[in-house]
């Protein structure tokens, strides 16, 4: 059974770069897409983007100018960077497996990221 685990700093200063990593275990990364989803406190879920095993990416246009998702297949990891963060980037960040249709069938436990000086 696949497991996903987010890691990274829980506190980032405004204008700096947020960097998170998701480690995948229990299954191959092939044949799926790998996504980042965030949830501001008390609000709904927002897809940030996804990456395929081969490295093809697709980003939410609302964040595209500030976001990069990369994959390290040798270590079964994929990563998220968000540049020039502001307070509105505060929230829970989840990594998730996309079955390639767009349904997220496995999720990490989430990581709370706070943007504050």
Partner 1 sequence: IQLTQSPSSLSASVGDRVTITCRASQDIKKFLAWYQQRPGKAPKLLISSASTLQSGVSSRFSGSGSGTDFTLTIGSLQPEDFATYYCQQVNGFPYTFGQGTKLDIK
Residue ranges that bind partner 1, judged by CB under 8 A = 43-47, 58, 60-62, 94, 96, 101-105, 107-110
- Nearest-approach distance from CB 59 to partner 1, in angstroms: 8
Q: In this structure, what are the phi and psi dihedrals at residue 47, rounded to the nearest 5 degrees?
A: -75, 130
The residues facing 58 across adjacent strands are 50
Shortest CB 23 distance to partner 1, Å = 15
Q: How far is the CB of 96 from partner 1 (least distance, A)?
A: 8
| Alpha carbon distance 35, 51 (integer Å) | 6
């Amino acid at each position: 059974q696949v497991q996903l685990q987010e890691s990274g700093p829980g506190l980032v200063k405004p204008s700096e770069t947020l960097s998170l990593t998701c480690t995948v275990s229990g299954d191959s990364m092939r044949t799926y897409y790998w996504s980042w989803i965030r949830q501001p406190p008390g609000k709904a879920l927002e897809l940030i983007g996804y990456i395929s095993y081969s490295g093809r990416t697709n980003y939410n246009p609302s964040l595209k100018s500030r976001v990069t998702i990369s994959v390290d297949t040798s270590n079964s990891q994929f990563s998220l960077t968000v540049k020039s963060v502001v307070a509105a980037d505060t929230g829970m960040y989840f990594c998730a497996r996309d079955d390639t249709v767009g349904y997220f069938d496995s999720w990490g436990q989430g990581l709370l990221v706070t943007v504050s000086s």
